[in-house]
Amino acid sequence: MASVSKENYLKIIFYLKQHDVKPVSTSEIANELEISNAATSEMAKKLSESGLISYKKYKGIDLTPKGKKVALGVIRKHRLWELFLANVLGLSWAEVHDEAEKLEHISSEKLIDKIDEFLGFPEFDPHGDPIPKKNGKLPKLTGLVKLSEGKVGGIYNVIKVNDLDNELMNYLTRIGVKLYKQIEIVEKLIFDKSIIVKIDNHNINLSEKIANSIYITQLKNAELN
């Protein structure tokens, strides 16, 4: 079994690979994990020797099928724990990520499958991210765009939220943003790329950074009236 560090490297590589076709560079990983490039280069050598990534010096990194399997296993644990902590034990969606970041590395396959079963084999975690199935399949999220990319006048559903910052999560809770909530885009300011949205009949201004952390789908016209 891979160490905590190695599992975290593999997980990050998987994330970085999702939006890009090119191999992942060591510095991108270093950035994400907040460690030095040097440490990442060393680790790349080791993960490559274990057959978890393919790595050519100066040419970047890709997960091998074996490495991808490990990464998906860790992500599965992470997201199932998050949902369990939120739905069963009543932690807020702001709190679950940090706990899950540790739990993902220590819980056995068997325990995770019990949790999966207990929750009724759910598809999405408390932030809207898809939960990998036991067989490695990842439920699809289609038609997602960032709130910042929505159109003025459009009415949308919140489908997914960036779960990496506690303060953001707490703020979103405070202003009424949660999964599947309806949001209307009232106005977009060119000046600072902030965006004014209507939530629960209140207007509120969201910064560009916040609007980039919220993912939405447009309601079909039929659903609107």
Partner DNA sequence: TTTTTATCTTAGGCTTGCTTAAATTAATTA
Partner DNA sequence: TAATTAATTTAAGCAAGCCTAAGATAAAAA
Interface residues with DNA (CB under 7 A)? 3-6, 25-28, 33-46, 55, 57-60
Q: Are 59 and 135 in contact (CB under 8 A)?
A: no
**2 vs 185, which CB is nearer to DNA?**
2
Q: How far is the CB of 164 from Mn ion (least distance, A)?
A: 7
Checking 197-203 for CB contacts under 8 A at 24+ apart, the result is 197/147, 199/175, 200/176, 202/175, 202/176
Q: How far is the CB of 95 from DNA (least distance, A)?
A: 24
- Picked from DNA, Mn ion, a copy of itself, none, the partner binding residue 144 (CB below 5 to 8 A depending on kind) is none
Cα–chain center distance at 204: 25
Which residue ranges make up the site for a copy of itself (CB under 8 A)?
Answer: 85, 88-91, 95, 99, 102-103, 106-108, 110-111, 114-115, 118
- Picked from DNA, a copy of itself, Mn ion, none, the partner binding residue 212 (CB below 5 to 8 A depending on kind) is none
Which residue ranges make up the site for Mn ion (CB under 5 A)?
Answer: 8, 97, 101, 163
- Picked from Mn ion, DNA, a copy of itself, none, the partner binding residue 207 (CB below 5 to 8 A depending on kind) is none
Cα–chain center distance at 31: 17
- Picked from DNA, Mn ion, a copy of itself, none, the partner binding residue 163 (CB below 5 to 8 A depending on kind) is Mn ion
- Picked from DNA, Mn ion, a copy of itself, none, the partner binding residue 118 (CB below 5 to 8 A depending on kind) is a copy of itself
Cβ within 8 Å of residue 208, ≥6 positions away: 148, 192, 193, 194, 195
CA atoms of 26 and 4, how far apart (whole Å): 18
**44 vs 195, which CB is nearer to DNA?**
44
CA atoms of 30 and 53, how far apart (whole Å): 16
Task: Write out the two tokens for 31.
Answer: 């950035």
**104 vs 129, which CB is nearer to a copy of itself?**
104
Q: How far is the CB of 33 from Mn ion (least distance, A)?
A: 10
Q: Are 7 and 74 in contact (CB under 8 A)?
A: yes
